[in-house]
Structure 1
Amino acid sequence: MSNDESHHEARWPPRGGALDRLARWLEGGGDGVETDRLLDLSTVLAAPALDAIHPEVTRFYLDPGRYRMRAGVHASRFSGALLDLLALVSRQGRLPDRDRGDEGGDGFEGYPVRQVLYRDARGRTHWDRYILIDRTWQRFFIARLEGQSSHVVETFVVYGIPFALTFRASVEDDDLVLSLVPKWSSPMSWFARVVYRTGISEHGVHTRGDFRVPIVGFRVRTEFRASRTEP
């Protein structure tokens, strides 16, 4: 059965386990209060850079809950195995590469993604994303997001311990580009090279991620397609 066919049968939400609740309590946020506002890019970029980005990208970052998201991944078998290990250790997303385009496909799995957007007791904004794999909703990216001048900080919470990743924001060919700044990020990311590019394609809001650790030959490319479901 495909992810589409089993979408309505999968149990939701997956975030109420005792370990998850303990982690949120240890980190000081609690379950929080639902919000419809993630990130105003005007707090990150100034004109004319902000004006160069397609308005739909700006709307997506402001309120991603209005969009239906799907995800895919491209990785070698070696990198895929390391990604699975990283997901196990960090309790973040396991994203199997099952469509390599060998049978005429475009290499995009199209795993459904659900989002939980809320503000915690400290006023911080959380953007928790879950992915449907084999009829089961799994943790994907459990993180906080905040914008600063020319930077975006995404903080992943692993067993109640925050790991911050700082990205430099820029605009290239009308795309929003977020590039990891290792020296301002958690030590666990110091050897990584991460870039996310978000723009517009025939699929809607289209984000391509490139995650590399050159020292061990690791490379994973992710793809996210988001289409607006509400005006």
Structure 2
Amino acid sequence: MVDQEYEKLAEDLAVIRSAIEKSNGIFRFLRLSRAMGLVGLWSGLGIGFLSLVLYAIDMTYGGLVAAPPLVRGLLYGVAVLFVIAVAVGKIMLVMAQARKSYRDFTVLRLIGEVYTPKTLPILVPCAIAATGVPAFLISRGLGVYLAPAMSILLGLLFLVFHNVFFLRSMLYSGAWMICSGVPLLFFAENTHTALGVAATFGLGFVALYVGDRIGDRT
């Protein structure tokens, strides 16, 4: 009799969990903070490193275009490998965490959980802004404002999505990108773009890791 009651309770809990997943997604049940913290650390350090290399090239050769083909090729190659490594690493870490709770979890399901009727109304306008704002600034000869403008946009996106993915560390990252991007708007003309990227995006992504570590202590 007791076993039957436990089985009934387990079934009821499974039904409740399934209903919550359908309304809010599975991210409520996944502990992704550590995985995304590591991804943020890798991304931030990589962005900072590439930005400083680009700054050094600009100071040495007077610009990337004037740099020797070998130097440009190495920089492009490292940048591509960095993007691929971060993307693959993020998927692997998230999948590993998800499969602790859902053994049959697949990449297709992950994509389906990210791009939902709840997130698309946010993602689509942000994607339009992420393409339209840079295009406008470049077309008006205001490329120096790209780093702070995009930092502010991404920071706002992080603040919105922290409630979707239940990652408090996104609050720290988003806050840094906004709080560093706004002052940079006023000093962008006198600040090297690469240094601006390192200060906003580089440290902003590192804040994901810092936020995760702070969360462990609270």
Give the TM bin, normalised by the shorter chain.
under 0.3
Q: Which has the higher strand share?
A: 1
TM-score (norm 1): 0.26
Larger Rg: 2
**Greater RCO, CA 8 A, separation 6+:** 2
Q: Which has the higher helix share?
A: 2
